[in-house]
Each structure stands twice: as C-alpha cells, then as structure tokens.
Structure 1
C-alpha cells in the first residue's frame, strides 16, 4: 500500500525538495507519495505580520481540500515560520483548523521540529536560521514551550523566501556551522525555503551531530501522522530507525 502525505507549501522557492524526498524514500523501500499544493503568500517577507497572514486559516483551507482530492491521508502545513509565529497555542489552533478543513489528520513543520527533537533525545538545540534574528527568536520561544532547551539562536537576516531558495550546498553548510554551538545536541536550520534534502549526511558529518532540517522533519511528521516509519539513512539520523 502506498502512503500519501499531502503538503501545503507557500509560494515557490524550494518545492523541488518534495520529489527529491519521495525519490530518496522510495529508494529506501518506502512506498510513499508526497503531493503538494501551493498556497498564496501575500507578501514574501520574513516579518511577523506578513507571516501571520501567510499562515492564516483562509489561505490554508482551500489547499487542504485540494490535497484531500489528490488522495492525501494526512496533511502538513509546510512552512515553519508561518506556524511558530502564532505561538504555541495559536499554532495548535492553526493545525486544528487545517485538520477540519481537510477532514484529515494534520500537523505543521513547527510541530515536526518539536517532535523530532524529542524523538532524537536532543534536549539542547542550536537554531541556525535564515531569518532575521527577531523572527528566529519566535522559534526559540516555540521550542521552549515544547520542552526543548535552545542553547543558541543565529539569524542570517534573509528577508525573503525567494532569496533563501537560491542558497547552494556550500552556503547551507556555512549556515549550519555558523549556527552550531558546542553544547548543542542537534542543529536546526528551520526554513522550508532552504534546500537541504540532498545534503543532510554531509551536514551531520561536518557538524558531528544530528541536523534537523525543515523538509526532513516535515516528511517524518507526515509519516508519523499515518503511524508509519521509514528507514532512510540518506535523510540523516532522524530516519535511521531505532
């Protein structure tokens, strides 16, 4: 049986990660489909007011219904920043509204990060964000509500998802290294506009610890919603099983 997890993705910046993830999981023996539907973004800006509008219920509802029509068995809002800026309770309400609109189990990338940190037993996390520092601090607060200790936060100050999507392997490695901290058990680059899926083993080798990236945890969370697991070392320690 093929499991189908649908993703709502704002705009266009790094959506080519979804077929890449599907291919990596398929080569590892996981029968999974990862269709996505694009949502309108309003203004492309890593700014709290713009992100609150980007993640608003009316923007997510139409796409959620479209994913159900595509055969999705669960839905994930695949935008980290337009989830955690709502705060812990607000992000829960966002997911409840998404689940109601889709008629399916639902989650978001923000909650995926919180659960993945817990699954790895990584009590102390370092955030290596593309966002401006002020937005990145909202992610710290969200992870704190989830019970994680954030030992450092670094924001690269990039304002638009379009710019983030142009970053290549060396720039992603540099971002992760710059955001690492000696006390951290894991490093989290949280932006779903950042290409990372092909380079997770490289990132973990370079840092010598787990690296949790947005696409990786989003796919993992979607499978979790279906009570499924997949062993796929190409997607890092989170997918190694056990």
Structure 2
C-alpha cells in the first residue's frame, strides 16, 4: 500500500483524484484534506495568503493519521506566486511540520517536464495574464523554456471548476505552440483527468495537467513507480512511448 496525502484548497476539481486512484493500482491511496481557501481570487495577495503556513498545517495531522508517506500541496498558483525561493521555503516548512517528504504542484510540473525530457513547453492557463506570467517565470527559474503562455483571465477557482470537456480542449489547443515539446495546464481547479488521452491525441504531444502531476509527484516522493492507461504520457510505460522515446 502506498499513500499520498494531498492538501487541496477549497472545492473545485477534487473529484479528479478519486478518478486517478481508480486508474492507478488498487493499493495506491490518495487521502485529501481541504485547506481553507480564504478569498477565491487569482490575485497575488490572495494567493500568497491561500498558501500561508498555518492554512497548510491545519490538515497535516489528519493526513499523517491516514498513513501518508508523502505530502503534496495540491495548488499551483498558491505556490509559484511566491517565486522559486518562496515556493521552496513553503514546502520546506510543510515537510518539517509533517515529518514527511513534501512538495507542491508547481514543483510537480517541473519534475514531470524533466522526466519527459521536455525542455520547451507551452502554458495554457486559466489564470489572468500576470499570474500566468508568474508561472512562466517559475518554470524559467527551473531551466524550462516557455515558448508560449496563454492566459484565459479567469479570476476564481469556482468558475474554473465548472469548465467542461470542450472548454478544456479549446484551452489546450489555443495554448499549444509548435516549438513546445509539451503543453502544461496549471490549475488544480480544472477538471482534466477524464480528458487526458483526448488532449494528447488532439495535440500530438504530452500534456501535463495540475491534478495529474500532483499525484505523480507524491508517488515520486514515496519512491513508488506506477503506470496507468488514460493518464497521459506521464503515466505510460516507457516501452509504450511513441518512437521509443
């Protein structure tokens, strides 16, 4: 049994996680604790407050009691908004509080892109322009080139959580760039798990989405390899990658 604890802000697309668990091996568990979102706004001050240490610490003991072997702050904007150093400090504090390996969705994107060998990526974001640019800067600090970054201007996670298949596909298509080796959809409030296979087929390249990479990162920290159909190139067996990549 491998247990990855998830700290998830509010209530938007958390049902992606049970879907992922079903597609993964039956001995992988993904217990989730909802952190207090505060003000639901993709705005720098609100996002910094959303990821405050006391808000994250509130769910740690519950996830420890659930037997978590690793812990992930399942929020992209609430981590990268602090910049590279601030995001590192955030997960150091979380790891110290939990006594467990810890990370965040922002670092999950970095590690997942590196695992796929994607040094050039396109960002297709639900966020306003300034927040999207902050994510691109975060990726740049990790040595990942952002060839294009599309912002959708959505202010609240609540609105993003209502997006359906056609909107997700349109977002990915609009954000793609021919120079990019992968396309990143960075909002954990966006339902993407049911559409991963279709997204990659439509774009002809790996697609990394927030809830997908969050689970992958937690498994990486727990030193558990897992393969699954329907969860994109990231969870595909290397032998199944096109052209033996």
Does 2:2 correspond to 1:9? no
TM-score normalized by structure 1? Answer: 0.97
Deviation at 1:233, TM superposition (A): 2.6
**Alignment partner for residue 120 of structure 1, among 116, 119, 131?**
116
Deviation at 1:101, TM superposition (A): 1.0
The equivalent residue for 2:165 is 169
**Alignment partner for residue 100 of structure 2, among 87, 101, 104?**
104
Does 2:38 correspond to 1:39? no
The equivalent residue for 2:180 is 184
Describe the SS at the equivalent of 2:191. Answer: coil
Describe the SS at the equivalent of 1:104. Answer: coil
The equivalent residue for 2:22 is 23
1:201 and 1:103 map into 2 onto residues whose CA distance is: 36
The equivalent residue for 1:51 is 47
The equivalent residue for 1:233 is 229
Describe the SS at the equivalent of 2:88. Answer: helix
Describe the SS at the equivalent of 2:78. Answer: helix
1:209 and 1:88 map into 2 onto residues whose CA distance is: 27
Describe the SS at the equivalent of 1:182. Answer: coil
Q: Which runs of 5+ in 1 are unaligned?
A: none
Describe the SS at the equivalent of 2:208. Answer: coil
Deviation at 1:206, TM superposition (A): 0.3
The equivalent residue for 1:63 is 59
1:68 and 1:37 map into 2 onto residues whose CA distance is: 11
1:118 and 1:183 map into 2 onto residues whose CA distance is: 16
Q: Which runs of 5+ in 2 are unaligned?
A: 239-245
Describe the SS at the equivalent of 1:152. Answer: strand
Deviation at 1:66, TM superposition (A): 1.6
The equivalent residue for 2:241 is none
1:120 and 1:99 map into 2 onto residues whose CA distance is: 26
Larger deviation: 169-178 or 57-66? 57-66
TM-score normalized by structure 2? Answer: 0.96
Contact 2:23 2:229 survives alignment (8 Å): no
Describe the SS at the equivalent of 1:75. Answer: strand
Deviation at 1:197, TM superposition (A): 0.5
Once superposed, what is the RMSD of the aligned Cα atoms? 0.8
4+ runs of 1 displaced by more than 2 Å?
none
The equivalent residue for 1:136 is 132
